[in-house]
Amino acid sequence: MTNPFGTVPPEAILEGRATDAYFDRTRETLAHAGKNPHVVAEVTADQFPTGEFEVLTGIADVATLLSGRSVDVDALPDGQLFDGGPVARIEGDYLAFAELETALLGLLSQASAFATAALEVRRAAPDSRVLSFGARHVHPSIASVVERAALLAGLDGFSHVAAGEVLGREASGTMPHALMFCFGEGNQADAWAAFDEAVAEDVPRVALTDTFWDEKSESLLAAETVEDLAGVRLDTTGSRRGDFRHIAREIRWELDARGHEDVEIFLSGGLGPGDLRELRDVADGFGVGGAITDADPVDFALDIVALDGDPVSKRGKLSGVKEVYRTPEGGHGVALADCGEPDGDEGDEGEALLEPLIRDGEVVREESLAAATDRCLADAEAVGFSVIQGGASGLEERPECSEGSE
C-alpha cells in the first residue's frame, strides 16, 4: 500500500507541491506577466532582539530542499541560538524558490521549537540523566525530528526505536505498566525477574515501581528481587502522587537504609523544567515528553527584503539585507549587512553569524549532530539561556545605517 498513513510524500516536498495554493497562483501570474525579479528573502521570527533566545535547527533539511535550485543561501549554523533578525537568507530569481516557502518554514518552525523546549529541560537539570519520552505525542513520521532535537539540546537519549534507526542511535527504555499488568497484582517480583532473565545484558535493569502498591514498597521489593538492579522508575499519575519530592526522598532513604545505595531513582510522567529544578537533587534521572513536544512552533516568516537590488518590505517589516551578530559577552543584535560589525557592551566587535549554506544550488556546508549539540550547549552558556529569560540585547540595532556608513 502506498502512503498508508496519509502523510505528504518526500517527493511532493522536494518538487514544491507541499505548498500553499497562493504560491501556485503567484507562479502562474508572474509567468503570464513575464516577471521574475531578482530578490533577497530572509527568514525571521522577530525583527529585533527581545531577550528571548531560541534554538535554530532544521538547517540540513533546508539545504536538501533548496539544493539544485539556482539560489545562494546563508544561514545560522545548526544548533545556534538566535534572538531577532534573520536566521536564513536566500538570494536568487524569485521563481527559483517561490513555491518552497511553506515547506521551508515548516522544516524550521517545529524542529526549532522542539530543540528550544529540550534545551529548557536540559538547563533545568544539567547534571541529571534526561531522556526524551515525547514521541507518542506526535505523528510517527516525525518522531525522529523530535528525538534529534532532544539530542541536539543535550538530552542523553530517547525512547523511539525507529527514530534511533534514522539517527544511528540506540533507543532507551525498560518496561511499561502494561508488562506489570500482564503478570498481575501480587506478582510484581515475577515480572521484574522475567525481565531480568529475558532482555540483553547491556539493557539497564530499571524496574517500574508504582503500578499496584505504594512506591516505596514496590521499590524495596524490586531491589530485593533483581540482583543487579540499576534503578527504579516512578511514573505516578499526577492525581495520585501527592508530594513527589517527598516520595522520592523517602524511597532514597529506605533504599539506603537497606544497603541499596547504588539503586538510582528515575522519575517520569508529565514533568517539565520547573519540576526538574525542584526534583533534580532527589532523583538521578528523568523522562520528559510533553514539555518538549507541546512546544508552540516558532513563528518564522519569509519576507522579501530587496528587489532587484533595492530595499523593500511590507508594512511592519524591515527592508534591506541584514546580518545578525554575537559578542563574546553574549550580546545579540541586528544591523544592515553593509554596516560592518557593531560593537558589544564592552566595545568588542560582534561576530557575524550567517554562514554560506548553498552557492548556486550546491550545498557547501555540512555539519554533524555532535557539532550542533556542542554549539547549542556552548551558545546557551554564552547567552545565559535559561527557562526564565528576558532582558536587553547586548548589541544596539542600527536601522539608520546605509551603504558607506561606518
Instruction: Work out the pLDDT band at 341, boundaries 50, 70, 90.
Output: low
Instruction: Work out the pLDDT band at 63, boundaries 50, 70, 90.
Output: very high
Q: Say whether both 108 and 131 belong to one domain.
A: no
Please check whether residue 350 lies inside any domain of the structure: yes
What's 329's domain CATH number? 3.20.140.10
| pLDDT of res. 345 | 53
| pLDDT of res. 190 | 97
Q: Is the pLDDT of residue 105 over 60?
A: yes
Q: Nearest Cα to 252, choosing from 231, 225, 277?
A: 231
Q: Say whether both 129 and 233 belong to one domain.
A: yes
| C-alpha cell read off for 266 | 528515575
Strand partners, 243: none
Nearest-angstrom CA–CA distance, 83 and 102: 22
168-196 b/e with 16+ CB inside 10 Å = b? ebebbbbbeeeebeebeeeebbebbbebb
Pairing of strands 71-75, 355-359: antiparallel
| pTM: predicted TM-score of the whole model, two decimal places | 0.92
Average per-residue pLDDT for the chain:
91
Q: Say whether both 201 and 60 belong to one domain.
A: no
Instruction: Work out the pLDDT band at 300, boundaries 50, 70, 90.
Output: very high
| C-alpha cell read off for 10 | 518526500
Instruction: Work out the pLDDT band at 200, boundaries 50, 70, 90.
Output: very high
Please check whether residue 34 lies inside any domain of the structure: yes
Q: Say whether both 87 and 39 belong to one domain.
A: yes
- Asked whether 70 and 36 are in contact (CB, 8 A), the reply is no
Of 233 and 6, the structure prediction assigns the larger pLDDT to 233
What's 164's domain CATH number? 3.20.20.70
Q: Nearest Cα to 276, choosing from 258, 289, 294?
A: 289
Segment 163-172 mean pLDDT: 96
Tens digits of residue pLDDT in 310-329 = 999 999 899 999 999 988 78
| pLDDT of res. 405 | 30
| C-alpha cell read off for 159 | 525512547
Q: Is the pLDDT of residue 395 over 50?
A: no
Q: Say whether both 106 and 171 belong to one domain.
A: no
Q: Say whether both 135 and 250 belong to one domain.
A: yes
Q: Say whether both 243 and 154 belong to one domain.
A: yes
Please check whether residue 200 lies inside any domain of the structure: yes
Lowest mean pLDDT of 94-103, 176-185, 198-207, 378-387, name the range: 378-387
Q: Say whether both 178 and 326 belong to one domain.
A: no
| pLDDT of res. 394 | 45
Nearest-angstrom CA–CA distance, 40 and 307: 7
| pLDDT of res. 387 | 55
Segment 264-279 mean pLDDT: 95
Pairing of strands 81-82, 129-132: unpaired
Q: Say whether both 164 and 288 belong to one domain.
A: yes
- Concatenating the DSSP letter of every residue in 58-114 gives -HHHHHHHHTTSSEEEEEPPTT-EE-SSEEEEEEEEGGGTGGGHHHHHHHHHHHHHH
Query: Is residue 370 packed enough to be buried (19+ CB in 10 Å), middle (13-18) or exposed (0-12)?
Result: exposed
Question: End of a domain among 293, 310, 334?
Answer: 293
Give backbone dihedrals phi and psi of 320, rounded to 5 degrees, phi first.
90, 150
Q: Which residue range forms the structural domain that includes residue 137?
A: 124-293
- Asked whether 159 and 176 are in contact (CB, 8 A), the reply is no
| pLDDT of res. 406 | 30
Q: Is the pLDDT of residue 343 over 80?
A: no
Q: Say whether both 132 and 265 belong to one domain.
A: yes
Q: Say whether both 42 and 102 belong to one domain.
A: yes
State how many domains the chain has: 2
